[in-house]
Structure 1
Amino acid sequence: MCAIFGIIGEYNDNQAKSALSLLSHRGPDYCGITQKKNLFFAHQRLSILDTHHRSHQPLKHKNILLSFNGEIYNFQELKSELYFDFQTQSDSEVIIAAYLKWGIDFVKHLRGMFAIALMDGDTLYLFRDRLGKKPLFYLEGSSFVFASEIKALKPFLSTCKLDNDALLSYLSFLAPTPPHTFYEGIKKLAAGEYLAYKEGQVTCKRYFDLLDAPSVLITTKEEALKKIETLLEESIELRLSADVPVASLLSGGIDSATINYFAKLKAMPLQTYTLGYKEFAKYDERENARQSAEFLGLSNTQIEIDENDFIRASDKVMDTLDEPLNDPAAVPLYLLFEQIKKDGYKVVMSGEGADELFLGYRQYFEYLDIQGAATLAHKNWLKKYFRANFSMNREWEWYKRIFDDTLLFRSSGEKFTDLQKNQLMRRNVKDNESLKYLKSYRQRFEGSQHKDESIWYSYIDLNIFQAEHFLTKLDRVSMAHSIESRTPFLDHKLASALFSIDPKLRYGDGITKSLLKEVMRNKLDTKILTRKKKGFSNPYMEYLINSKKINLIQEVNTQTGMFHKKKLDEYINTASRGSFKQHVWGLYVLSYWIKKNLL
């Protein structure tokens, strides 16, 4: 796990090296630079495989340069079919050999997580992995600049301006949707995309899409369970490979227990970590995690934080994220990784993706049920009724969409609806305006073989809710402590297999994560399989209110006039009573960024 950085075109040597140094936390073990006139190509290395200096990057082969962030889990398999004079034991060199054999299609042979910068003569290629685990940003100007994090691109902006599309998509979906970032001029690659840059011209294309998986290929539960178990076990085993210590997160739920079960099955019991909250038992999973660790026969370290810890870390976390990300779990996760680093671990296993792939959110089933109302023959009066009786509650919005014949599900991360934004903001926001940020995804879905809406739920959530929200959080807070996070559920072969299963096998019995629970039925304790889902919940709103940091929202709004004060106060007051809490956290994070960057 590392950082990539580069400039094509004129550059100032001191400015370039200073920007590169802002990424040192991602790769503190070595800094490599290749430079000449109109080219600065660099790498910050976190040594995980083949820690020897022979594997330092950038790697060079004839007129090819490589700076690579990530892990290629099938590199040994690829090595056996590539005719190349390998000089290292790393996965990086395999990328060059694969490129020489297959051209830009080499990326289709990789199994892993990656952001890749490959320079072939005067052409630069940038690749982001299929499911968006690793970030990649770029800036077009007099020179072309690219980096693993936004902070390394900011020095090259002539002025700092707020990107309007980033703001609106953030309010809707918790994070800016690709290609937008909060900094006008800085863009990001979407999951499964690559970029080619040559002679000042940029071309972006998609090289992978989960919807390319054949529809309803697997039609029996027996076949589905066998396929899932085989690929899941394989995915976890591949991700246990490292030349440094590996640990794992452990909650009381099935996702992390599954990872740790198979890791132990492969004779690699992992040290596990769990977070708890002082004086807030309702958010605490320590006892459940202790029971899971005891059942699995694993050591479990429990970390407790309080309000002072949360407030101490919150500003650091927001600076780490670079731009607004509406996920209050980023702060406690940052503190958890802080302890894991102190204990000497450089790789951590995490359970992201299971909910989206196995339909682990109860709301998926609610949406499927509500979707049935679209077939009502006589619904005009219901349409008029809902239009005339606005409610802030999300259920009102769901039914309105059905009666309006518009798209119901817009990701599990949807927070502010367009009508809510219109009421809150001092600007006109049209109903369904936010659909433009989902348009390309929906068009691909409607043009695919897949017709069941549950596939759409998983597809948009993996591309937006997971890639731009959860994985952004996981990458930034883990890499802030020079830790590589690995997510076995988000193996592209496993994900494609899930998309090939008859959708009704995933939800037909009305049970969340039904197929995963079936796979693990005789492997995990019944308590683990039947526990109510908690997620990574935490007392962020209590901390925000008690510390009075919540006042920042009104303070910044007084200076910007972005929101109607009365409606803003209404949200804040409602959050203090337990509703619309994440809406308000999102406004707080936004206010922090605006104050630091624009005021």
Structure 2
Amino acid sequence: MCGIFGIIGNYNRQKVELSLEKMIHRGPDGTKITEFIGGCFAQNRLAVIAPSHEFDPPFIQSNTIFVFNGELYNYKTIASSFNFDGIKSDSLCAFKAFSNNAKVFLNSAIGMFAFALYDINLNKLTLVRDRFGKKPIYYANDGSKFIFASSIDAIVPHVKTKFRNSALKSYLSYRAAITQETFYENIYKLPAGHTLTYDGKNVSIEKYFDFFAHKKNDQNLENSIISSVNLRLTTDTKIGAFLSGGLDSSTICALASNELLRQEQKLHTFCIGYNGFEQHDERYFAALTAKKINSEHTEIVFGKNDFFEQLDKTIKAFDEPISDPTSIPLYAMCSTISSLGFKSVLSGEGGDEAFSGYEKYSLFLEMLKAKKLPFASYLKGFFARHSENNREWEWYKRVFSDDIAYRTIGECFTDEQKNVLLNSKVAERDSIVLIEKFYDEFKKSGRQDYSEWMSYIDIKIWLGEVLLQKADKIGMANSLEIRCPFMDYNILANSIRLGDTRISENTK
């Protein structure tokens, strides 16, 4: 885990150092700047695997420079498949394997990562982001220089920028800026599962991971989850786990505890509770689970005063607005866990999307049945002629108009509500335009099961642009990486194929 930075073109060394200072929380274990003809690469390192300084990127080999942020969990398997001897570092393995055969490496890599490689002889820069966007990478190109970094804050000193008004509409609909455009003009983010190349003049972006083209894993689902959890226990430092007592985190913690106990180690689990808000307190069920799985359990108590104490810190952790109130208690948890010497923690994030855990999924499947009513054509006209400023009305209007009814679990303001809030004319299909490309991809895949669409768009938007970015920014603000076993592509891509059989009577 690290904060990475690079410039191809003219640069100011002091500004580079300022950029690294702004990302020091992402990598407090070592800072390294590598300058070369035509630019520089730099990195703040959080040493989790192979913590020795001899493995501090950037790496240089045969006029090629490489910098890496994240974790490559299966680096030993990849090193073996490429016949690399003595590889002790996941980032060094990624460098060698990607340089050797980029396509084979990207197809086999299991992890969360964003990295950059620059070929000095060819004057060619390549950026890569993991399949689901667990690790961010931002970039800017002003014609005289190309800049990339793990955070927007690190790029701002090098470019002219201002607030991007169009991002506000995306934020109000989906709680984040969900396109390649950020809240800052001239600063962009590389989409998940894509590569970017820059040759000194032109920028080219290509998709390398097709969600629906992924081949089904031969492992059964249970073994896939066990394998994913075990891989994410790979570390040379202390690792813990979030435990709420719910199904997702309990499953992850139980499997992790089993593996660690087999190695004669104990899993450390952490739960947060709320003084004065017992209806949201999960400590009771978390404690029961911790006892059952034989983990070392720590309860973190969070009250009103803690909320206001953490609020400013939480806001500061975000480069740009992300709306999720759980960010504040998450900051408190990460701060405590990091202070206890942990650098990594497991999370159950992704379980609801993979296995249709949200109650809203079953609600929308029931709503869609209204299209088969004998007077559906009348209702279509009725909802089109009348307007009510609430989400339920909007949902039924979409159902009868054959529009995209479900637009993520985190959808906030409807287009009509945005009109009222902003006192401006927001196009009726404004929120649809932002997600149409995903719907087109879904239709082109030949899939028709609506539950698959709901999971797919939530993985792309709710997980990719909100939850995973929240986890990365809050975790790294406290020098803590958050690992999500359910976010393994073998699990996500295969679980969706189960269709609405994932939606149990309990969910309904």
TM-score by length of 2: 0.95
| Paired residue secondary structure (2:412) | coil
Matches within 5 A, 1:222-241: 227-241=220-234
CA contact (8 A) 1:256 1:351 kept: yes
Partner residue of 1:439? 436
Question: Is the contact made by 1:213 and 1:500 (CA closer than 8 Å) also made in structure 2?
Answer: no
Tell me, yes or no, if structure 1 residue 462 matches structure 2 residue 459: yes
User: In the alignment, does 2:384 pair up with 1:391?
Assistant: no
Kindly state the Cα deviation for residue 103 of structure 1 after the two structures are TM-superposed. 3.2
Match of 1:277 in 2: 274
Residue 426 (structure 1) shift:
2.1
Per the alignment, residue 64 of structure 1 pairs with 64
Query: In structure 1, what is the equivalent of residue 113 of structure 2?
Result: 114
Paired residue type of 1:101: N
**Aligned-residue RMSD, C-alpha:** 1.8
Structure 2 residue 396 is the aligned partner of structure 1 residue 363: no
Work out the CA distance in 1 between the residues paired with 2:412 and 2:187: 24
Aligned residue for 1:530? none
Supply the distance in 2 between the matched residues of 1:58 and 1:167 (Cα, whole angstroms). Answer: 36
Match of 1:303, SS?
Answer: strand
| Structure 2 residue identity aligned to 1:331 | I
- In the alignment, the residues of structure 1 paired with residue 378 and residue 139 of structure 2 have an alpha-carbon distance, to the nearest angstrom, of 50
1:292 matched to 2:285: no
Q: CA deviation at 1:165?
A: 2.9
Supply the distance in 1 between the matched residues of 2:36 and 2:66 (Cα, whole angstroms).
15
> Is 1:179 matched with 2:180?
yes
In the TM superposition, what is the alpha-carbon distance from 1:296 to its structure 2 partner? Answer: 1.7
In structure 1, the residue corresponding to 2:81 is in which secondary structure? coil
**Aligned partners of 2:448 and 2:266: how far apart in 1?**
41
Cα distance in 2 for partners of 1:492, 1:63 equals: 33
Q: 1:505 aligns to what?
A: 501
Structure 1 unaligned residues grouped into runs of 5+: 514-599
Does the 8 Å contact 2:244/2:282 carry over to 1? yes
1:542 maps to: none
> Quick one: which of 148, 151, 158 aligns to 2:153?
151
The superposition leaves residues 504-529 of structure 1 with CA deviations (integer Å, 9 ceiling, x where unpaired) of: 4213x43439xxxxxxxxxxxxxxxx
Match of 1:342 among 329, 336, 339: 339
User: Partner of 2:241 in structure 1?
Assistant: 248
Deviation at 1:184, TM superposition (A): 1.0
SS of match in other structure, 2:148: strand
- Bigger drift between 44-53 and 388-397 goes to 388-397
CA distance in structure 1 between the aligned counterparts of 2:500 and 2:403, rounded to whole angstroms: 23
Unmatched 5+ residue regions in structure 2? Answer: none
For residues 136-180 of structure 1, give each alpha carbon's deviation from its aligned partner in whole angstroms, at most 9, with x where no partner exists: 101111211100011101112324x22133111111001111202
Instruction: Name the structure 2 match of 1:78.
Output: 78
Moved more, 396-405 or 380-389: 380-389
CA distance in 2, matches of 1:105, 1:295: 42
Task: Work out whether residues 365 and 510 of structure 1, in 8 Å CA contact, stay in contact via their aligned partners in 2.
Answer: no
Instruction: Compute the displacement of 1:389 (Å).
Output: 4.3
Could you tell me which residue of structure 1 aligns to residue 18 of structure 2?
18
Confirm or deny that 1:128 pairs with 2:123. no
Alignment match, 2:168: 167
Under a length normalisation based on structure 1, what TM-score does the superposition of the two structures give? 0.81
Aligned to 1:372: 369
Cα distance in 1, alignment partners of residues 492 and 210 from structure 2: 11
Match of 2:298 in 1: 301
**Aligned equivalents of 2:443 and 2:351: distance in 1?**
24
The offset of 1:372, in angstroms, is 2.1
1:554 corresponds in structure 2 to none
Distance in structure 2 (CA, Å) of the matches to 1:491 and 1:22: 30
Q: Secondary structure of 1:381's partner?
A: helix
Write the distance in 2 (CA, Å) between the matches of 1:505 and 1:393: 31
SS at match of 1:500: helix
8 Å contact kept, 2:344–2:480: yes
Amino acid at match of 1:134: K
Structure 1 residue matching 2:320: 3-state secondary structure: coil
- Which one of the candidate residues 255, 260, 265 is aligned to 1:262? 255
SS in 2 for 1:400: helix
Cα distance in 2 for residues equivalent to 1:44 and 1:150:
15
Deviations 1:26-50 (A, max 9, x none): 0111111111343111111111111
Paired letter, 1:248: A
Amino acid at match of 1:124: L
Q: Residue type matched to 1:243 in 2? A: D
**1:304 Cα shift?**
1.0
User: Could you report, residue by residue, the CA deviation over 1:227-261 in whole angstroms, capped at 9, with x for unpaired residues?
Assistant: 11000000000001111011111102011111111
SS across alignment from 2:139 = strand
Given that 1:167 and 1:176 are in contact with CA atoms closer than 8 Å, whether structure 2 keeps it comes out as yes
For 1:420 and 1:3, how far apart are their aligned partners in 2? Answer: 38
SS in 2 for 1:151: coil
- Pairs within 5 Å for 1:208-223: 208-213=209-214
Q: Whole-Å Cα distance in 2 between the matches of residues 375 and 157 of structure 1?
A: 55
Preserved CA contact (<8 Å) 2:79 2:85: no
Q: CA deviation at 1:375?
A: 3.5
Kept in 2: contact 1:78–1:94 (CA 8 A): yes
Secondary structure of the structure 1 residue equivalent to 2:203: strand
CA distance in 1, matches of 2:383, 2:467: 33
Offset from partner CA, 1:9-38 (integer Å, 9 cap, x none): 111111111112211110111111111343
Q: CA deviation at 1:106?
A: 2.5
Q: Which amino acid aligns with 1:175?
A: A
Check the 8 A contact 1:2/1:70 in 2, yes or no: yes
Q: Distance in 2 between matches of 1:375 and 1:198?
A: 54
8 Å CA contact retained: 1:401, 1:407: yes
| 1:138 counterpart SS class | strand
Identical pairs, percent: 39
Letter in 1 for 2:163: L
The separation in 1 between residues aligned to 2:165 and 2:196, in whole angstroms, is 23
Partner of 1:203: 204
Distance 1:58 1:114 in 2: 15
Residue pair 2:452, 2:497 contacting (<8 A) in 1 also? no
The 1:104/1:21 distance shift into structure 2, 3 A limit, reads: farther
User: What is the number of residues matched between the two proteins?
Assistant: 501
Query: Would you say the 8 A contact 2:274–2:281 is kept in 1?
Result: yes
For residues 83-94 of structure 1, the aligned pairs below 5 Å read 83-84=83-84, 86=86, 88-94=87-93
8 Å contact from structure 1 (residues 171, 415) kept in 2: yes
Write the distance in 1 (CA, Å) between the matches of 2:190 and 2:506: 35
Q: Which amino acid aligns with 2:224?
A: L
Contact 2:408 2:462 in 1 (8 A): yes
| Cα distance in structure 2, aligned partners of 1:104 and 1:209 | 13
1:512-551 deviation per Cα after TM superposition (whole angstroms, max 9, x unaligned): 39xxxxxxxxxxxxxxxxxxxxxxxxxxxxxxxxxxxxxx
377-386 or 130-139: bigger deviation:
377-386
1:308-323 → structure 2 map (5 Å cutoff): 308-323=305-320
CA distance in 2, matches of 1:455, 1:164: 33
1:260–1:269 CA contact under 8 A, matched in 2: no
* Cα distance between partner residues in 2 of 1:504 and 1:411: 16
